[in-house]
Amino acid sequence: MSPNLSRELRAVRKEAVSQGWTVLRGKRYWKLRCPCPMKHKKSMSLTPSNPNYVKNLLGELRRATCWKG
């Protein structure tokens, strides 16, 4: 995993926490849980192999959850 990808994933986790999401570390994934009543969930890989992973992850968060931004 490249240092830039690691930095971008850290930024996504930090943004999730600032929006009130719960961020838990599992064995292979970070688990993101939304604070809204619908309790949206999203998992985030610890070691993604796709260089576009963060871009795709943010797109999924915007479309399928109440992610702001």
Question: CA angle, corner 12, sides to 19 and 6, nearest 5?
Answer: 160
2-54 confidence digits (pLDDT tens): 788 889 999 999 999 999 999 999 999 999 999 999 989 999 999 998 989 99
The CA radius of gyration of the chain, in Å to the nearest whole number, is 11
pLDDT of residue 25: 94
pTM, to two decimals: 0.88
Neighbours of 15 (CB within 10 A): 15
2: CB partners within 8 A, 6+ apart: 51
pLDDT of residue 44: 96
Tokens, residue 37: 């009543």
CA dist 61 and 69 (Å) reads: 10
Within 13 Å, how many C-alpha atoms sit on residue 54's CB side? Answer: 16
